Structures are given as C-alpha cells and as structure tokens.
Amino acid sequence: MVDIGFAQAGIFVVLATLCMAVFYVLRSHKRVLGWLFLAMVLCFIETLALTVAQSSTDYIAFIIILLGGAVFCINFSISALLNDNRQYYWVDAFNLSLLALSIAILYTPTPYILQNIPFQLACALGIWKSTYLLATVSEAKWQNLFLASSLFGIGAIFFIRASVYPFIFPINSKYYEVVNSAAANKLVVTILCFAMITVLTIVSRVITEVITEHRTNAERDLLTGLLNRAAFDKIASEESKSGDALILCDLDHFKQVNDQFGHLAGDEVLRNFASILQGTGYMAGRFGGEEFALLMPGHNGGNAAALAQNIRRLFIASVHKDIPDDHMVTASFGIAIFHKEETLTEAFRRADESLYHAKRTGRNRVEIAPPPRSPFSSQPVWSPLVGAAQPITHTGRPT
C-alpha cells in the first residue's frame, strides 16, 4: 500500500501542476481549473496522509474531511465548466449530513466496516451529481459524455466500497486491514485511472474551448457576431458557385444616425440589422461600418430580391433604442448572381455597382446587377416606399 500510495500522491501532484500550467498559459477558465487544482491538492494530501500516518480516529476523520472536500471541489469545477447555475442544495445538504455522520460514528464502538458506509455513499452521490449535470446539459459534446462516464466510474467505486465491503470483509475488520487489502489496492488503482481520465478530459475541454474562442474572435465581428470581411471572403471564395446570389447591404445615412443620436444608438441599429440577417439562416458578414453581405446558395435573382425586400421591410419595422419612432432608418441592397467562371471579386464588383445604383436612385430599395460584361441596365426591384428612379445628377459615393 505504501508503494501504491506514494505513486498515487505523485500522480495527483502531476495533475495539479497540469491544471496550474494550463491556466498560466491560457489565462482562462479560472474557476474550472482553480477548483480542479484544489481537488487534486486535497487528494494529494489525503493520499499522503493515508500512506504515512497512523490509523487513529482523528486521522480517519481528517481523511474524510479531505476527500469529502475534494468531491465538492470537483462538483464546482464541473458546474463552472458547463456554466451550469442549477443548484441542488438538498443533494449537497444530504452529502454533508452523511459526512458528518461518518465522523460522528468514528467516535463510537461501531465497527469500521459500518463506519465507512456513509462516507463512501457521500462520495458516490457527490460524484454522481456531476455525472448528472454532464448527462443532462443541452450541448451534447463528446467530452461531456466521456467525462460523465469517467466520473460515473469513480462514483461506482465509492458505491462498491459502501455496498460490497461489508460482505467481503469480516465485520470486525480494522481500518488498516481493509485499506491494505488486495481488493482495496485494486480499487485504488482503478479510481486513480478514472481520476487521470477525468482531469485530462477537463483540461482538453478547456484547451478546445479556448482555441475555438480565439478562432471565433478572429473570424467574427465583435459588435454584431457576424463574420468579418476576411472570414466571409474566405468562405465565400471556397463555397460560392454559379447560380448563387450575393447580396450587399448598406444602411442609409448611417453617419447621421451616429451624429444625431450617438454611437451607442448607432451600435444598437447595427446589431438589429445583423440580427435580421442572422434570422435568414444564410451566411452573413459585416464588412465594417454600416456595410453587410449575405450569400444565398442556389438562388436566382428573383428569390434573392424577395429576401432582400423582406429584410428591408423588417428593418424599417424594427424598434431601435434611443431613436424616436418617427425617425425611420432604412437600408439599400445590391444583388449579383454568380455566373460560370466568375471570381468572387468580380461578383462583389457587380453587387457593389448595383448597391451604388440603389443609393443613387433613392435609397431604401433593392437592385439586381446585370450579367458580367454587360452594360449596367438593370431594372430596380421597386420598393413600395419610393417612386421611380431619379436620374443621377451628382457625383461622390452616397451614404
């Protein structure tokens, strides 16, 4: 047992060091890694005490407190990992009651085999609480299922100790006779394997989430959550094909919104428009400022124009915080249909020209670009809120 105990203590030191190292490098998931680190420290102290200390009543009570605390730390770590705010106070209260009962009966003539039952049950139920949280979370990640399985295994070992020990050991067995037995040693090795799997799975989950977060921040516009220009261009260049529709959108007179109502109100307008684009289910991006784009796979000009008109109407009907209801904020749209062998840059140019034409001919409207290498002669998809297009009589890029 001494050799196994020192090896077990060493492994807990390595796992605790791993938790601290990952936090130091990533500077993320402080609660997850902090509680897990504390659990490993408590397990290290408990294992070391179990290996070198004497089997006095006070010493056994100390072991119960350490291991019980480690179980609670694991629960806190799992809750933080899942960002789960569900509280099961009755479970925690019941576990604390079992731990208190375990310590109380240590100081009675009750045989150790029976004294051990409430303590092992408390640890089993505590670990299974984390298993339940993982099994019932809405996001079904493979790490959750794997982690739930390893935690269930740890809880099962505690339950086996509580339910099987009274049948395989004589009722009057002493503490050191039980913990130094071959059966106990096998369970120690098994629980150590499950503990390593649990910690490594949590750490891998943390690393995966941090990498995903950084990738998302690199690809997303922080204000609206839409793809940024670089990410949109990359995906569109890889996935767009002949027959797809590209819609460019630009909010009308947006600078006036910022100047008149403030940048916070302008940010709210941008988020509202982005929410409408996200609601379409198509790939959407923000190109900076008040410019947006939408890619519709396999849609002709009529379908794309109908969608753009719907977006335009929804945006007009939107309520914007800090902007009076009588101040209508509108958007203009330019559409280009990808043609065979046409590059993304060429499609963008045609969509931008149609958007430019929409701006010049009254704003708050939708325009479809003509095919490539054709004179710009597209007919607007008429908005019910505007009349006929007006001739262009001034220069400069409209807003």
Query: Following DSSP, what letter does each residue of 138-164 receive, concatenated?
Result: SS--HHHHHHHHHHHHHHHHHHHHHHH
pLDDT, tens digit only, all 399 positions of the chain: 456 778 889 999 999 999 999 999 888 899 999 999 999 999 999 988 887 766 788 888 999 999 999 999 999 999 999 988 887 889 999 999 999 999 999 999 999 999 999 999 999 999 999 999 998 887 767 778 889 999 999 999 999 999 999 999 999 998 888 888 889 989 999 999 999 999 999 999 999 888 888 887 888 898 999 999 989 999 998 888 888 999 999 999 999 999 999 999 999 999 999 999 999 999 999 998 899 999 998 877 788 999 999 999 999 999 888 888 888 899 999 999 998 878 888 999 999 999 999 999 989 999 999 887 655 444 444 333 333 333 322 234 455
Q: Which long-range contacts (CB under 8 A, 24 or more apart) does 48-55 make?
A: 48/5, 48/9, 50/5, 50/179, 51/1, 51/2, 51/5, 51/6, 51/9, 52/5, 55/174, 55/175, 55/176
pLDDT of residue 399: 56
Q: Which two tokens stand for residue 141?
A: 């990640």
pLDDT of residue 154: 96
- Among candidates 302, 296, 282, 310, which has minimal Cα distance to 381? 302
pLDDT of residue 140: 60
pTM over 0.85: no
Pairwise CA distance, residues 144 & 208, whole Å: 13
pLDDT of residue 51: 77
pLDDT of residue 398: 52
pLDDT of residue 125: 95
Question: What single string gives the DSSP state of each residue in 268-300?
Answer: HHHHHHHHHHHHTTSEEEEEETTEEEEEETT--
pLDDT of residue 374: 53
- 287-325 as b/e: b if 16+ CB within 10 A: beebbbbbbbeebeeeebbebbbebbebbeebebeebee
From residue 237, alpha-carbon distances to 308, 326, 345 in Å are 22, 41, 9
From residue 255, alpha-carbon distances to 46, 258, 267, 398 in Å are 65, 5, 12, 11
Cα of 339 vs its chain's centroid, Å: 38
- Among candidates 63, 60, 24, 368, which has minimal Cα distance to 206? 24
